[in-house]
């Protein structure tokens, strides 16, 4: 029996990164195990992604569920160790920066199982973000660090990482985006939501924005002004909805001019919404990249980004949670003064092919 390659997904953003890699390795005849830790467990947040992305149901589902960072990380480690001991993988592939990513990479390091980290080297230089800790720890123990952009290479070198562990492959999220753009045009989401004319998309979920009442109120104030100028489509994250209600702000949110509130939407539906939007306001990492690839102005409601290439080369502008700056930047973009940007090198839809090449070479060499 051949030793399989284990591909790990844990949370919503992971699925778009794993899907092209899974498809390419399957095309090459590799024996694969798709492992879902269940870190995101809501059907709307996970199951629909497997349907949208054409991925098979996971071979293994750990069903970890919600909990503190310590609980999720520790529980994934305990359960994943059993899988590694039983299946003896030739390689484990982890992606992004969620708790499942760091948990599985540490298990691999302890057991001597080769591990590749896709989207390595990204840094916000803000250790107040749990994801930053996950990125640093994962990159310190993974064998192969597959970076999306030159800043990732530079960050790893600055941390003393050996050159042979660093391979720039490009941005695998863009593979998923490009391969699903045409399919997304069949989505009825815009007519279903009653969208007419130009619109902006909003996504908001980070604790710094939605758990901090002052910041949340400031962002709402900006949206109230922006909503007077353009329709706002807001697929609201469960966490954001919960906090808005606990702060007594949900009615104010519903009253924003021209706002359309909906629950989390599937990947194809979201791509359809994004591709036809005039502007995106977000605190997500992946959206900064996707808007750059599509040439859509993006306003990031954070103080920093681990994806600076979207600012230096792309369409992204960092504004924090300052209501005046959010409003000013949004109105400029709506007036046609948003950043034009360009698509970074190797964001060409062929990243999964390069990743598969690296993984197969590593396994064949017995490194």
- Kindly report, residue by residue over 167-216, the tens digit of the pLDDT: 999 999 999 999 999 999 999 999 999 998 999 999 999 888 999 999 99
Q: Is the pTM of this model over 0.75?
A: yes
C-alpha–C-alpha distance, residues 77 and 292, integer Å? 35
Residue located via tokens 């859509």? 296
pLDDT-derived band at 339 (thresholds 50, 70, 90) equals: confident
pLDDT above 90 (res 54): no
Q: Which residues form the catalytic set?
A: 205
Is the confidence at residue 28, as pLDDT, over 60? yes
For 361: left if phi > 0, alpha if psi spans -120 to 50, otherwise beta; the answer is alpha
The pLDDT score that the predictor gives to residue 50 is 74
Domain 5-170+347-365, CATH 3.40.50.10190 — does that match? no
Cα–Cα dist 136/159, whole Å: 9
Going 182 to 190 to 219 to 127, the CA torsion angle's sign is: negative
Q: Are domains 5-170+347-365 and 182-337 of this chain identical in fold?
A: yes
pLDDT tens figures, 214-244:
999 999 999 999 999 999 999 999 889 999 9
Per-position DSSP letters for 7-50, written without gaps between them: EEE-SHHHHHHHHHHHHHHHHTT--EEEEE--SS--TTTTHHHH
As a whole number of angstroms, the distance between CA 187 and CA 200 comes to 18
Condensed to tens digits (0 to 9), the pLDDT of residues 258-280 reads: 999 999 888 999 999 999 999 99
User: How do the residues of the chain divide into helix, strand and coil, expressed in percent and rounded to 5?
Assistant: 50, 15, 35
Alpha-carbon dihedral 348, 233, 203, 319, rounded to 10 degrees: 90
Cβ atoms of residues 354 and 169 within 8 Å: yes
State the pLDDT at residue 330.
97
Phi, psi (rounded to 5 degrees) for 332: -65, -45
What token pair was written down for 14? 């992971």
**Band (304; pLDDT cuts 50, 70, 90):** very high
**What are the structural domain ranges in the chain?**
5-170+347-365, 182-337
How far apart, in whole angstroms, are the C-alpha atoms of residue 41 and residue 214? 30
Give the model's pLDDT for residue 102: 98
Find all residues with CB under 8 Å of 206, minimum gap 6, and list them: 283, 302
Mean pLDDT of the chain: 94
Q: Pick from 111, 112, 130, 189: which is nearest to 11 by CA?
A: 130
Residue 25 C-beta-side C-alpha neighbours within 13 Å:
25
For residue range 95-125, what is the model confidence (pLDDT) as tens digits? 999 999 999 999 999 999 999 999 999 999 9
What is the number of other CB atoms lying within 10 angstroms of the CB of residue 348? Answer: 16
pLDDT at site 42 = 59
Angstrom distances, CA of residue 69 to CA of 43, 96, 104, 201: 21, 16, 14, 29
Lowest-confidence region among 49-53, 256-260, 358-362: 49-53
Average pLDDT over residues 17-40: 94
Long-range contact set of residues 293-300: C-beta below 8 Å, sequence gap at least 24: 293/171, 293/174, 293/177, 293/178, 293/343, 293/347, 294/177, 295/340, 295/341, 295/343, 297/333, 297/338, 297/339, 299/326, 299/329, 299/330, 299/333
> What is the H or E stretch that residue 303 is in?
none
Nearest to 7 by CA among 110, 66, 80: 80
- Write 73-77 long-range contacts (CB < 8 A, 24+): 73/99, 73/102, 73/103, 74/103, 76/10, 76/37, 76/39, 76/100, 76/103, 76/104, 77/103, 77/104, 77/106, 77/107
Tell me, what's the pLDDT at 290?
97
Would you identify the CATH topology of the domain 182-337?
Rossmann fold (3.40.50)
């Amino acid at each position: 029996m051949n030793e399989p390659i284990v591909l790990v997904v844990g949370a919503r953003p992971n699925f778009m990164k794993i899907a092209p890699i899974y498809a390419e390795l399957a095309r090459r005849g590799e024996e694969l195990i798709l492992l879902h830790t269940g870190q995101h467990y809501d059907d709307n947040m996970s199951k629909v992604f497997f349907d949208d992305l054409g991925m098979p149901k996971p071979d293994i589902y750990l069903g970890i569920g919600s909990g503190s960072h310590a609980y999720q990380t520790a529980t994934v480690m305990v359960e994943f160790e059993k899988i590694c001991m039983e299946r003896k993988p030739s390689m484990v592939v982890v992606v992004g920066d969620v708790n499942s990513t760091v948990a599985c990479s540490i298990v691999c390091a302890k057991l001597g199982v080769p591990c590749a980290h896709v989207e390595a080297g990204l840094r916000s230089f803000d250790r107040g973000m749990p994801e930053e800790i996950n990125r640093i720890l994962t990159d310190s123990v993974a064998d192969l660090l597959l970076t999306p952009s030159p800043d990732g290479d530079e960050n790893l070198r600055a941390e003393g990482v050996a050159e042979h562990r660093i391979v720039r492959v490009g941005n695998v999220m863009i593979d998923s985006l490009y391969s699903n753009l045409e399919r997304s045009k069949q989505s009825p989401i815009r007519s279903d939501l009653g969208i007419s004319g130009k619109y902006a998309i909003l996504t908001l979920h980070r604790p710094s924005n939605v758990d901090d009442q002052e910041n949340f109120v400031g962002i709402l104030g900006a949206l109230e002004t922006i909503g007077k100028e353009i329709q706002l489509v807001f697929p609201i994250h469960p966490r954001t909805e919960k906090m808005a209600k606990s702060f007594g702000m949900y009615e104010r949110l519903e009253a924003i001019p021209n706002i359309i509130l909906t629950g989390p939407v599937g990947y194809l539906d979201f791509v359809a919404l994004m591709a036809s939007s005039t502007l995106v306001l977000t605190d997500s990492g992946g959206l900064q990249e996707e808007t750059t690839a599509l040439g859509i102005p993006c306003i990031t409601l954070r103080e920093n980004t681990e994806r600076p290439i979207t600012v230096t080369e792309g369409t992204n502008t960092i504004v924090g949670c300052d209501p005046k700056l959010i409003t000013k930047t949004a109105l400029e973009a709506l007036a046609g003064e948003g950043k034009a940007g360009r698509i970074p090198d190797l964001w060409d839809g062929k990243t999964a092919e390069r990743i598969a090449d690296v993984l197969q070479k590593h396994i064949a060499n017995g490194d």
